Amino acid sequence: MSGVDARQAAQALSEIDAIVRRVRQSRIYDIASLMLIQWGGLVVAGYLGGYFWPRAAGWLWVAVNAVGVAGSFAIGAVVRRRTGAGAFDPRVPLALLLFFAFGYLTCVFGAFGPRELGAFWPIYFMLVYTIAGLWVGSAFVAIGLGITALTLLGYVFAGVWFEPWMAVVNGGGLVLGGLWMRRD
């Protein structure tokens, strides 16, 4: 009679739990990588558009954010359909609305100039990435801290080249981060 003792059962359950965690992280990284690449391209366009057409920068960023949010929902819908994941969570658009509203109010009450806005938004977004990374994976922490540090360096040292710097650092960083998450 070959039974499984308590130690073996606990070890088997631990191995199953580790596999479940890796699969969950892989699914999160899969969808996040697509969104990072999408947002990275849009952010490059926003910063370069603002650099070449500064009078239109405000409207360019409204368009970038609208296209980005719509694209994020589209990516989520495609992934849900492909994987058979659960239904749409109505808390997601509410969370996005609260996030943007808080950021907008911070900018209004902070009376930020264009350069400050160009640094605030990526740092604000990267705070969320960094915090989320504490739960879902170290790639988010690395991307968040890396882009934040490079944003601050550019804010201090890039001078008139701040927008192109941010196109490379923020937009390019998001694209590279998305590609990094797709490895394996």
Q: Write the DSSP assignment of 76-87 as a string of letters.
A: HHHHHHHHT---
Say if 15 falls within a structural domain: no
Say if 17 falls within a structural domain: no
pLDDT at 1 over 60: no
Say if 41 falls within a structural domain: yes
pTM: 0.78
Least confident of 22-26, 74-78, 166-170: 22-26
Say if 76 falls within a structural domain: yes
Task: Work out the average pLDDT over 177-183.
Answer: 82
The runs of H, that is alpha helices, within the chain are 6-52, 57-83, 91-110, 114-136, 138-157, 162-166, 173-181
Largest separation between any pair of C-alpha atoms in the chain: 81
Task: Work out the average pLDDT over 81-93.
Answer: 72
Say if 130 falls within a structural domain: yes
Kindly indicate the confidence band of residue 180, based on its pLDDT and cuts at 50, 70 and 90: confident
Residues 6+ apart with CB under 8 A from 28: 136, 137
Residues 6+ apart with CB under 8 A from 51: 163, 164, 167
Per residue in 124-134, pLDDT (tens digit) is: 999 998 998 89
The proportion of the chain whose per-residue pLDDT surpasses 70, expressed as a percent, equals 91
Count of other CB atoms within 10 angstroms of residue 41:
19
Question: For the chain, what is the domain count?
Answer: 1
**Range of 121's domain?**
28-181
Say if 47 falls within a structural domain: yes
- Supply 91's token pair: 């808390």
The confidence score (pLDDT) of residue 160 equals 93
Say if 19 falls within a structural domain: no
The confidence score (pLDDT) of residue 123 equals 96
Say if 55 falls within a structural domain: yes
Q: Residues 71, 38: contact at Cβ < 8 Å?
A: yes
Query: What's the half-sphere exposure (Cβ side, CA atoms, 13 Å) at 113?
Result: 2
Task: Work out the average pLDDT over 98-111.
Answer: 90
The confidence score (pLDDT) of residue 88 equals 64
